[in-house]
Structure 1
Amino acid sequence: MPSQVEYKTTRRFMNIWVYLALGAVGMIILAGLSSIFFVKPLASKTLQAREGQPARLQPFKVKPQAIGAVRVDVTARIPTNRYLAYEVQIRDQQDKILAAGLKNAWNESGIWREEGQTGTWQEDDLDAGLDVSSAKAEPLTVVVEVLEYGTSRNQTLTESVSFRIKVNQGIIDTRYLWPGFWGGLLMAGLTCLFSKSAGATLSDKSIGDSDLGDRVNAGGPNKLIKVIVKTVADETSPPSLNCRLMVRDGNGDELFNASEVMPLKFKRDEDGDIDSTHGQATFFMVLEKPSSYGFYVEVTPDAPVDSTRLIIKQGAVTLGAVKVAHIGAA
């Protein structure tokens, strides 16, 4: 009685971990994009401060939020070749400090000379920021205090400094999303590589001809068999070859016979001449009954074929839907 062969396009053997990792990356991207919709501006003003005379923002009211925090961004504005030490404080309605941060700011410039050429350079570090979460609705205020101000030549200055203060509520610190983003991409990439090589190798044989075969013990209703045929041919090869795979049982009866077109990739040397060609065909199947099976390959036309390699893997996984031949018991 001949065996029954049924073809199905299925995702049954798909490696779901690839898509879970990509899904996690997608969620991180979505979280980063959606964070801008939670931001609510509370204050934006430029104030002056000097030593002993801190700048104080008018109180603003915050409300508890499940997502995001209150973010205070402060930018000092000082001329070049000056340094500034200042403290940013967030205070409640009782003037109690809830959060504070010290900033050593500077703004420098100069002239560079190298190999007869000259130019100017300018660098600064003027920004400071604080995040705070409020558990209740209450008015808060921001205080900026100048601790030290001077020139790059260590000359102390007493003049006032301008500060740009911005307060927003609902800010999400996206810096912590980047490790998850890159980690998810790395996991997806590694899982893709693993998927291509997954499974136990039952046979890996090569021959300097177009026909090749081997017999292995394989099969099982839940085990995907992946048969890979690789061919190396010479410069007289057509654009594609025909690869035929036959599977026979222990008695030599043919259970499966199918062919695939094998497109060729032409490798050229430094002069642009064709050096060799490479092709590959892949077959997926499920052999319902565990037993001994013979796998035989014929590549035609055989004249340009230099070598053929047959790889048989059991327990393979896929990255998506593939066409699988289900071969029933004879």
Structure 2
Amino acid sequence: MPVDVQTRKIKRFRDFSPLIALGALGLIVCAGLISVFFQKTLVNQAINLSPEEAIALDPIELEKSPIGALRIDVAADIPSNRWITYEIALIDSQGNLLASAMKQAWKESGTWREDGESGTWSEQDVKGGLDIRSKTGEPITIELSVLEYGTTAGEEVDSSATLNVVVKNGVVDTRYFFIGTLATFLLSGFTTYSVYTSGKRVIQKSIGDSDLGGRGVMGGANNLIRATVAVVSDETSPSRFTIDFSIQDKDGEEVYSHQFQINRGSKINESYRQSLRTFFLLEPKDSYRFYVEVVPDRSVDRTRLTVQEGAHTILEPDIIHIQG
């Protein structure tokens, strides 16, 4: 029976979902990098406040930013084993309260002893802040006040405390940025793996030798076949292997034969691992036998043949089209 064998690139089996996910990941990363150039520091100063004292900073023009928002970060600079409650309030030009936040900051330290050993420890939670975004530019005033100030022993403190204030415009909330980046990265990895392993398994054979074969019903004009040959070899592996690859039809007649060259792969646990992936279109759908032999065979410990139908690809590999 005459057989027509052609090797060509066919686009209809491509799956673009991994590329879309990678594109989305690239956009998120680019947005994060670009956002740095839109940030503008408006205030960076330290303010001393006594308990029950409030102070208003100079008015700030709330400019519209293409991305991000106005961020007010406040950090209390207090000695160890003290706590402080402070409030951040945003007031518009008419004296109306736009937003407020209250923070109970603390800082503790001490020593520990256990089983004859000792050391020191220190913990703190002193940062608070607000994010605000306005559709129209308008002046706002930031008012800071200390409501309570005391020690961890329960004593009140009458001295002043320092609040470090940093105000920036055009700031992106990196908490959601990193979550979105991680989620998109995982999605791109999942979609890539799904396409890479797509298809129904028709043949899966493994042997502790260099040659094996298997038969299965597969093929059709719109049914891409992926054949994967995985080889595990020992430390005497040569730099290159030859894989004799052949396909026979239901009558045992050879419809395809080719010698593939593969380089020695990576070394894992004193063994080398290398693989070959080929794609086929077999017409008509019928029973086919795949057979592979790895040469030279003296260093081959195991050979595995996996054949899947209904496969998809990410790029455009060479597809061997066999028409009987």
TM-score, with structure 2 as normaliser: 0.85
1:148 has 2:143 as partner: no
User: Counterparts of 1:137 and 1:268 in 2: how far apart (Å)?
Assistant: 61
2:61 counterpart residue number: 61
Q: Deviation per CA, 1:9-31, whole angstroms, max 9, x where unpaired?
A: 56653442222222222222222
1:92 alignment partner AA: D
User: Counterparts of 1:149 and 1:122 in 2: how far apart (Å)?
Assistant: 19
User: Counterparts of 2:253 and 2:78 in 1: how far apart (Å)?
Assistant: 89
Gap change, CA 1:248 and 1:110, over 3 Å in 2: closer
Gap change, CA 1:147 and 1:203, over 3 Å in 2: same
2:305 counterpart residue number: 310
The answer as to whether partners of 1:11 and 1:322 remain within 8 angstroms in 2 is no
2:86 alignment partner AA: Y
User: Counterparts of 2:127 and 2:268 in 1: how far apart (Å)?
Assistant: 56
The answer as to whether partners of 2:86 and 2:144 remain within 8 angstroms in 1 is yes
Q: Deviation per CA, 1:275-317, whole angstroms, max 9, x where unpaired?
A: x776543322112433333333344445666765432211122
1:248 counterpart residue number: 248
User: Counterparts of 1:212 and 1:28 in 2: how far apart (Å)?
Assistant: 47
Gap change, CA 1:53 and 1:309, over 3 Å in 2: closer
Once the two structures are superposed, the pairs formed by residues 123-134 of structure 1 within 5 Å of their partners are: 123-134=123-134
User: Counterparts of 2:277 and 2:95 in 1: how far apart (Å)?
Assistant: 73
2:276 counterpart residue number: 281
1:176 has 2:176 as partner: yes
- Between 50-59 and 242-251, report the one with greater CA deviation: 242-251
The answer for unaligned runs of 5 or more in structure 1 is none
- Between 147-156 and 276-285, report the one with greater CA deviation: 276-285
User: Counterparts of 1:164 and 1:309 in 2: how far apart (Å)?
Assistant: 64
2:48 counterpart residue number: 48
1:60 alignment partner AA: I
Gap change, CA 1:170 and 1:291, over 3 Å in 2: same
1:95 alignment partner AA: G
DSSP-derived class of the 2:21 partner: helix
User: Counterparts of 2:126 and 2:268 in 1: how far apart (Å)?
Assistant: 57
Identical amino acids, percent of aligned pairs = 39
2:160 alignment partner AA: S
Gap change, CA 1:167 and 1:243, over 3 Å in 2: same
User: Counterparts of 1:266 and 1:73 in 2: how far apart (Å)?
Assistant: 50
1:94 has 2:94 as partner: yes
2:55 alignment partner AA: A
1:323 has 2:308 as partner: no
The answer for unaligned runs of 5 or more in structure 2 is none
User: Counterparts of 1:181 and 1:107 in 2: how far apart (Å)?
Assistant: 33
- Between 120-129 and 296-305, report the one with greater CA deviation: 296-305
1:189 has 2:184 as partner: no
1:19 counterpart residue number: 19
1:80 counterpart residue number: 80
Gap change, CA 1:147 and 1:14, over 3 Å in 2: same
- Between 310-319 and 232-241, report the one with greater CA deviation: 232-241
Q: CA RMSD in A?
A: 3.1
2:161 alignment partner AA: V
The answer as to whether partners of 1:107 and 1:126 remain within 8 angstroms in 2 is yes
Gap change, CA 1:155 and 1:326, over 3 Å in 2: same
1:8 counterpart residue number: 8
Number of residue pairs matched by the alignment: 324
1:142 alignment partner AA: I
1:106 alignment partner AA: W
The answer as to whether partners of 1:48 and 1:55 remain within 8 angstroms in 2 is no
DSSP-derived class of the 2:318 partner: strand
Matching residue within 280, 289, 295 for 2:290: 295
